Amino acid sequence: MDFTTLGFLAYLAAAALVYRVLPERLRPVLILVASYVYYWFAGSWMILLLVCETLLVFGGALLLEKTSGQRRRQTIMVTVVSLLVGVLVLFKGEFMLPSRWAGALLMPLGASYYTFKLVGYLVDVYWQASPAETNLLNFAAYSAFFPQIVAGPIQRAESFLPQMRVAPNATSRGVLLGIQRILLGFFKKFIVADNLGLFVNYVYAHLHGGAEPILLGFYGYPLQMYADFSALTDIAVGSALLFGIASPENFEAPFAAVSPTDYWRRWHITLTLWLTDYVFTPLRMSTRTWGNAGLVFSLVVNMVLIGLWHGFRWTFVIFGLVHAFYLAVDALTGKQRRNYYKTHPQTKAWAGRIGPITTFHLVAIGFVCFRASSLSDIVYVLRHLFANVTNWSAPFASFFAENSRFLAVGAGGYAVAEVFDYLRRRNAREPILETLPRWGRWSAYSCSVLAACLLAMLLFVKGNKPSPFLYAIF
Amino acid sequence: MDVGVAEGKFTEIMREVFNRPDLQYSPELTAAEVEEWDSLSHVDLIVAVESEFKIRLSTGEVRGLKNVGQFVALIAAKAK
């Protein structure tokens, strides 16, 4: 039941309606049942892994709270975390198994995301930063919550569980925002990501074949990836809002970042924060007496892990190393730059203007490492960036002539999506819709309803064929 | 250690680490309210605190802290 099918929308609407009419004490039951039914249709017997890991962590956390000796507490925490991470690594490294077992271990849907949730929760209980949850039902609903299971956002237990205990009605404002958010997600996916993807895929599939403008792939892929991944987050956050559940945000205008450090505060925010709390900070604390060497070491380990999480491939390792290099240079020169800006304020203003352009290009180089299928392709793309900008091969010229309207729609749609996102963020800070006169509010409501109907019709015409998200496989 | 003494020393350390001489102490102050206070400078702050107060802090102790007031209370409890 892919997010981009009419079946998913119908299932979501039915679950949200039943949730609304149920008494509050039964709502966590509905969330759990709806999530397990969704998971069963999406992942079949792999649901057993989710159930087992949920029970293991629930019990492990209660045991941690009852155990007093530090050594024993550490043993419990390390054992459970090793089991969870070990299972994830086994599935991620499936292709390294002997060929006769090929395909035997397909990555269970959302395994990364519920593992992150469970590990974070258990470590917090170990650190005594959070109490252990005593209600198994609420905890199981937390680990399996179906809008977030495909690709996050990675919500912390301390943020989700209090909402599950209260299980309030979704307000009419929340439902409207949820529907608008889902619509924005579909817009980004169908109008922007899929259309840009057409050209990006063509360029990367014909890298060595002749004269394709590689620059199109270089600029197109970051925009496609952002539209695709943030669409997934939009649908997840919007769906949760229909149940009255607020989720953390995953993106904050990442291409407006003024530095690589700022970029990681805006891109896949919940994963970055998770890694900061459970990988980077513990590593940095252990190496704090090493000075700058400890900082660089912790950054490299953290970023290479981010790369490897996407898959055990050298291109992802290079992706991690490239970003570790950016972050290390940014961190090691930060103090000097800030001091320089204090004495040269006009330079700071210029740096603020140039920062987003420079950062976007640095990030785009990272995305080449992410998208290319081999190390030689990374080198080839970066060495031939400006090749064939105008001198196209005959097949590409014919492909372009046939599909240029999709590129125009994708690029124009990207600009529209950025405007929608800006208005959405502004509306979240200080509601603007409610301050409009009645005709303005009703115009917005009518547009949302009409857009939702149009989307349903489009999905119906399109059939039940899903349009896979780039990030749903991680 | 007396909480008042710890507050004074901690404020000086914050100002030094974040290069913000104007920073004012408030028990409710959080990292989110100080632009320069990120995951990198957070560890610099801990190193400076450990050196000044001659204490050792663990990752778990620091993870549970919600604001500056709790940080100072932890320091005051551990420092002599």
Q: pLDDT tens digits for A266-276?
A: 999 999 999 99
Q: How many residues are there in chain A?
A: 474
Best of B18, B37, B40 to disrupt the A interface by mutation (most A CBs within 10 Å)? Answer: B40
Per-residue confidence in pLDDT tens, chain B, 80 aa = 788 888 888 999 998 888 888 888 888 888 888 888 888 888 889 989 988 888 988 888 888 788 889 989 989 888 87
* Cross-chain Cβ contact A277/B63 below 8 Å: yes
pLDDT of residue A60: 94
Span A407-440, pLDDT tens digits: 888 888 899 899 888 988 887 777 777 777 888 7
With CB atoms and an 8 Å threshold, state whether A128 touches B64: yes
> CA A53 to CA A297: how far, in whole Å?
31
CA distance A179 to A174: 9
- Min Cα distance B64 → chain A (Å) is 4
Which residues in chain B have Cβ-Cβ distances shorter than 8 Å to A295?
Answer: 40, 43
Angle between helices A6-21 and A438-462 (to 10 degrees): 130
**How confident is the model at residue A104, as a pLDDT?**
54
Mean pLDDT for A77-88 is 92
A155: which residues sit within 8 A by CB, 6+ positions away? A117, A142, A145, A148, A247, A248, A270
Asked if residue A50 lies in contact with residue A146, where contact means CB atoms within 8 angstroms, the answer is: no
Helices A6-21 and A214-242 cross at an angle (nearest 10°) of 20
A437 phi and psi angles, rounded to 5 deg: -65, 165
Those residues with Cβ within 8 angstroms of residue A385's Cβ, 6 or more apart along the chain or in another chain? A214, A215, A218
**Residue A465 CB burial class (10 angstroms; 0-12, 13-18, ≥19):** exposed
Q: Which of A191-195, A249-253, A344-348, B76-80 has the highest mean pLDDT?
A: A249-253
Best of A156, A262, A273, A285 to disrupt the B interface by mutation (most B CBs within 10 Å)? A285
Is A129 within 8 Å of B64 when comparing Cβ atoms?
yes
Residue A467 scores a pLDDT above 60: yes
Tens digit of pLDDT for each residue in A85-139?
A: 998 888 877 666 666 555 555 667 788 889 999 999 999 999 888 899 999 999 9
The angle at the Cα of A421, spanning A274 to A269, to the nearest 5 degrees, equals 5
Size of interface A-B (CB pairs under 8 A): 43
Look at B39 and A280 and tell me if their CB atoms are within 8 Å.
yes
User: Per the CB < 8 Å rule, is B43 touching A282?
Assistant: no
pLDDT of res. A251: 94
The answer to whether the Cβ–Cβ distance between A126 and B60 falls below 8 Å is yes
How close, in Å, is residue A64 to chain B by CA atoms? 14
Percentages (nearest 5) of helix, strand, coil residues in chain A: 80, 0, 20
- Residue A209, both tokens: 């074949």
Q: Do A126 and B64 touch (CB under 8 A)?
A: no
Residue A342, Cβ neighbours under 10 Å: how many?
10
Give the distance from residue B60's alpha carbon to the nearest chain A alpha carbon, in angstroms. Answer: 4
